[in-house]
Structure 1
Amino acid sequence: MVEALMTNVHFQPAPLSDPLGEVLHILHLTGTLYCRAEMTAPWGIVMPQLVDSMMFVIVTSGHGWLVMDGQEPLLVGQGSMVLLPHGQSYRLLSAPDADALPLFDIPVEKISERYEIMRHGGGGEVTRATSGVVQFDSVAARRLVSLLPPVLHVDAWGDDAANWLQSTLGLVAREASTLRPGGETVMTRLADILVIQAIRAWLDTAPEANLGWLAALRDPQLGHALALMHRRPERSWSVAELAGEAGMSRSAFSARFTDLVGQPVMQYLAQWRLHLARAQLLESRDPVGAVARRAGYESEAAFGRAFKQFFGVPPGGLRRSAVA
């Protein structure tokens, strides 16, 4: 199932004046796998844990209950979407006490590598849903996703302000109801929009979205400095230069950055560079020296020492362990 994740979706960079928007633009969602499901009560499905993945469910008719360890059962009605940012295992049920089968024990009709149809249940009331799995491959995306709650629930039908979601869910429902030419492509793009918009809705309403790193990204001055570091990690930034870019004194910039982000600016930059380098080592076959230069290191030896100190393994060892 996870091996079928194939399609890359990349977005143009957001304006430098919108650092939080830029993080959303570089989520780099990677290939969506869809399942269009028709369930008849009683029914129940156990979804497995999927590491480094986000899962979503859109109920296009009927309703279902989402049950997850540590969370109250959640009723997901028609026109609603739930996003599970951390890929945790969950159950989707016709009733909170319904029996459930593991996902891979339920037969499906495989339409393509990324699209399948499931019919499951006891023959009663019908619920139709579209589910999917997406992955993300940027350091900024991983930090953002780590801050999201276990479940994001968006109920468009009950919110007059969410016309975008109502319209998009309507398109998903129509595409899911028939296999028209190009339907896979349309649904892929719609799902990418839904995931990003669900995260945006949380950012706009959740109190915790105004704390820490997210608050720093929203800050007009700190956000500008963060965006510069994210876009140009190879540059030899200094605290004074970043403070100047932010229009602040060096001392005021350093104090506010540490207060909001939770670590000094140069420590943040050093760790950001190392995380970027780690991702490049795993995702490319570029020479270690080239990766080191893109991470802002003039010396491959200095990069290797910093990398091993932070991750506990040298750059070459990381690659060898990934291949093994």
Structure 2
Amino acid sequence: MLEKAWYSKARWVWVLWPLSALFWTISTLRRYLFKAGFLNQIKPARTIVIVVGNISVGGNGKTPVVLALAEYLKKKGWSPGVLSRGYGGTQTEFPHLVASSDGPALVGDEPKLIAARTGLPVIIDPKRPRGAQRLAQQESCDVVICDDGLQHYALDRDIELVVMDERRYGNGHLLPMGPLREGTWRLDTVDMLIHNVDNFKRAELLGVSTAQFHMQLTPGEIVNVKHPEQRLSIAAFVQRYTACEALAGIGNPERFFTQLKQLGINCRTTHSKADHHAYCAADIPPGPVIMTEKDAVKVAQIGHDECWYLEVCASLPDTLYKQLDKKLAHLAG
């Protein structure tokens, strides 16, 4: 209900103004204490820290960007590792290196997905500086990619990337009146702004000094959740299943459902779940079901033989990578 009010610009959220004022006071004071040196910012020596985050709550495509950066850096000869809070996981001992035997219920769905896709070391730790130290010292990483954590100022950082989707910043108010963790002024202070949208020209923000780039989620094959060796092209999937159910527990499920429609996949019914939803068997419809890879990680043990997920990769422009290379070369020099 509250999230819907943020993006429909409902007027009743003004009753939450006193709480938003309190949030602003606390967050402003906290930023000042870090900036003035009263609270320490820490990062590992001889290690570059890249934070991929946003100024609003909810998922908007950060994980695909983390995956794309990790793969790119690996190809360029760097030794990257990924740092995550491990949201939704039950792990209580930190820092924790995500292992192949770890389930998403233990470490969180996104860390599990990132570790499986990249084969890189992924550390979960709510205390980001401690997790970054583990990646640098014990996993020999020279670049730490922090998945989320733009507002976790205890971890010093070299590069900040913000990802936004078509929802932008909703009604423009701070929590809980709106979805913002920080004001829109923060967009002028980061290194790159990535728009996860279909129409970049309509999404590009005027008056923002930060370099802005277009990101698109490029679909790949459709993979069987229970039997990942079974892979179908989109055309083959459509030919096999004239209709199916669609399932998504991500920050913006409608984006996924729209993408399926654009690909020609006929979904009888769409099932939206909250981001990081903990699935049970009753959540999974019978018959053919298509879902996101993030959902597939969580239903691998309870799904049936006709559960499939759509592989997607973040397509980022060469201009972004060129700017990233310049920053990395400067920092390394």
Question: Structures share a fold, TM > 0.5?
Answer: no
Please report the TM-score for the alignment, with normalisation by the length of structure 2. Answer: 0.25
Greater Cα radius of gyration, structure 1 or 2: 1
Larger fraction in helix: 1
